[in-house]
Amino acid sequence: VLPTLEGDNSYLSTLPRFWESKRLERVADSGQLERRMMNDERKDLDQWALACVDSRANFLGDGRYSMTPFLDMINHDAYIQTRARIEEDKGFAGSGDILQLQSGKNYAKGSEVFISYGNLSNLDTLVDYGFVSDK
């Protein structure tokens, strides 16, 4: 299910590109967020579609991208080593590719799993994912 722009609890409403101007004016960062949004602005693209792709597309390092709709359910931790790779023809029915993630950390059963979304600043994670890290 793709996110919608409807309702106050919409995931996309956490992204600054969908904030009301009143909320943007309260950001005290010497204009960094506004400049980033102006640089990223693409009036030729649908902003809802761009937000869906930005928050779910992953660069794999070999020149390819992967759309992984459930991957954003795993929280980001910049200090977790994460490797991603595509395994070809390993899908459920034997055809299709799968994305395999490998974490540099062992997790106990029932504990929350983290991955690194990459070497991102808080400005990057705010603009593309709607959160900032306290680390």
Residues 61-74 pLDDT 10s: 677 777 777 777 88
Please tell me the predicted confidence (pLDDT) of residue 3. Answer: 64
Q: Is the pLDDT of residue 109 over 90?
A: yes
CB atoms within 10 A of CB 133: 14
107: pLDDT confidence band, cut at 50, 70 and 90? Answer: very high
| Contacts with 9 (C-beta within 8 Å, 6 or more apart), sequence order | none
Predicted TM-score (pTM) above 0.75: no
> What is the pairing mode between strands 98-103 and 82-87?
antiparallel
SS3 for the chain is: CCCCCCCCCCHHHHCHHHCCHHHHHCCCCCCHHHHHHHHHCCCCCCHHHHHHHHHHEEECCCCCEEECCCHHHCEECCCCCEEEEEECCCCCCCCCCEEEEEECCCCCCCCCCEECCCCCCHHHHHHHHCCCCCC
Q: Tell me how long the chain is.
A: 135
Token pair of 46 as six digits: 């649908």
Given a cut of 90, whether residue 111 has pLDDT beyond it is yes
Mean pLDDT score, 80-96:
79
Q: Which residue has the higher pLDDT, 105 or 51?
A: 105
pLDDT, tens digit, 9 for 90 and up, residues 4-52: 666 655 677 788 888 888 888 888 888 888 888 887 777 787 888 888 7
pLDDT higher for 2 or 19?
19
Report the distance separating Cα 64 and Cα 74, nearest Å. Answer: 21
Average pLDDT along the chain: 81
